[in-house]
A and B are shown apart, each in its own frame.
Chain A
């Protein structure tokens, strides 16, 4: 499924966009521990988390995740946003919590 479709269906706020490329999202992963994400995330993953720390951008780049979805209406710190812009990592956010975002995405058929 295209990222744009997910953004629309889950009503996500776009904090850092990637306008050049509407990437595919092939699976979902919910996790707040960076090392677990690093070990288990695949290319094309939508990563759902409450972590907004700068390090998430590096992890996302290394693993090739399609987007980060920040839950619970948390805000990304400025430094995270700047790094994501530089690295081309898509940052999204939602008022909903990790459980519901995961559930909604799973319902869309993203496994």
Chain B
């Protein structure tokens, strides 16, 4: 109870002042956000002479809910949404051409439009998405959904937080080598020569660990060819954790006299059929992941090709451990 009492009146005068400062700070961060910073740039467009069925398949593959329709010259002529698809399925015209049923009066956003105006457009029109057009060429360069707005705002907030966190970390740590100045993650030194925690929530972060390991090994003076093999294999293992595990993962690297050992582990759902997973071309990656350029079923093949020894251990529901050895043949380069 005593603890609770202390926080009964959080809005003291002092706190009010702090709140004002915070609001000012936030205003500075959220004003001036323009459409091109918010939009999703990996936008696919479809031509008006294609069928609604094609549009449906495209939406399914990309896990998206609407598609801008552009003519041969890339000019925006309409938009087709998941609602249109549902209507088409209900009324049996899914094989009709898109141009017949698309929304023709498209409300769009120019790349320089500001966040506040964009939010206003969402509430005024009630649409789920707006295409973003280049001011000069009038071609579609992106698309904005409410989710894009939300993630932009969350990212800005995250930057705020990370900036502060990182500063304290760096200040408290006199040894700058134990902390990454770019992402601020800790490098565990107990036992392993290199340690990285894999962020499994963001497919865009896949490969960051491998890139760091590469830098680290190069800084230790290992030759490029060896480092390349280690980096490729680690990249694949790391990507697997991000795509498949649904859990955090860890990369450890141990340097010994005649070999480098990399161990990548996660605590996720595991591999059901290891033998099948080792086959080239086999992949359980969902369709939308494949549209990011992953899940070609070459991951384990690449790991095998690049390492001198590889062991994969997995139990369904408990995770995967990949351990790889890379022989140091020519030794370290003389520096």
Whether the complex brings A and B within 8 Å at their CB atoms is answered yes
**Interface residues, chain A, with chain B CB atoms under 8 Å away:** 32-36, 38-39, 50-53, 55, 58-59, 62-63, 74-75, 77
Asked if B281 and A34 make an inter-chain contact with CB atoms under 8 angstroms apart, the answer reads: no
B288 → A minimal CB distance (Å): 9
Instruction: Kindly list chain B residues whose C-beta atoms are within 8 Å of the C-beta of A32.
Output: 293, 296
B152 interface hit (Cβ, 8 Å)? no
* 4 extra A-B contacts, CB within 8 A, seeds A35-B291, A55-B61: A32-B293, A39-B47, A39-B50, A53-B297
- Tell me the bound Cα distance from A62 to B53 in angstroms: 8
- Given known A-B contacts A51-B296, A52-B281, A74-B280, A38 and B291 have beta carbons under 8 A apart: no
B60's closest neighbor in chain A, by CB? A35
> Given A34-B291, A53-B290, A55-B287, A39 and B58 touching (CB < 8 A)?
yes
Alpha-carbon distance between A96 and B11 when the two chains are bound, in angstroms: 70
Give Cα distance in the complex from A59 to B53, angstroms: 11
Which B residues from 59 to 109 make CB contacts under 8 A with A? 61-62
| Residue from B45, B46, B281, B283 whose CB has the most chain A CB atoms within 10 Å | B281
Provide the residues of chain A in CB contact with B290, threshold 8 Å: 33-34, 51, 53, 55
16 CB contacts below 8 A, A to B, read A32-B293, A33-B290, A33-B291, A33-B293, A34-B61, A35-B58, A39-B45, A51-B290, A52-B281, A53-B281, A53-B290, A55-B287, A62-B54, A63-B54, A74-B280, A77-B282
In the assembled complex, how far is the CB of residue A87 from the closest CB belonging to chain B, in whole angstroms? 14
At the interface, yes or no: B257 with Cβ under 8 Å from chain A?
no
Chain B residues lying within 8 Å of A36, measured Cβ to Cβ, are 44
Q: How far is the CA of A35 from the CA of B42 in the complex (A)?
A: 11
**B281 partner residues in chain A, CB cutoff 8 A:** 52-53, 74-75, 77
A35 near B61 with CB under 8 A, answer yes
* Total A-B contacts with CB atoms under 8 angstroms apart: 49
- Check: B5 CB closer than 8 A to any chain A CB: no
Task: Report the bound CA distance from A35 to B289 in whole Å.
Answer: 11
C-alpha gap A69/B102 in the complex (Å): 34
A39–B51 alpha-carbon span in the complex (Å): 11
**Chain A residues whose C-beta falls within 8 Å of the C-beta of B57 in the assembled complex:** 38, 58-59, 62
* Interfacial chain A residues near B46, Cβ < 8 Å: 39
- Within the complex, which residue of B287, B291, B296 is in contact with A50, where a contact is CB–CB below 8 Å? B296
In the A-B complex, the 7 residue pairs with the closest CB atoms: A35-B61, A38-B58, A35-B62, A39-B44, A35-B291, A39-B46, A52-B281
B51 to chain A, nearest CB (A): 8
Within the complex, what minimum Cβ distance (angstroms) separates B227 from chain A? 24
- How far is A36 from B287 in the complex, measured between Cα atoms in Å? 13
Cα A59 to Cα B282 in complex, Å, equals 19
CB nearest neighbor in B for A62: B54
The CA-CA distance from A17 to B58 in the complex, in Å, is: 27
A47 to chain B, nearest CB (A): 15
**A26→B50 CA distance, assembly (Å):** 18
Known: A33-B291, A62-B53. A38 touches B61 (CB 8 A): yes
- What are the residues of chain A within 8 A of B296 when measuring CB–CB? 32, 50-51
Central interface residue in B54, B61, B62, B291, by most chain A CB within 10 Å: B61
A74 proximity list for chain B (CB < 8 A): 280-281
Residues of A close to B54: CB separation below 8 A: 38, 62-63
Q: Mark B30-55, 1 if CB is under 8 A from A, else 0.
A: 00000000000000111100100110
Q: Which residues of A contact B45 (CB under 8 A)?
A: 39
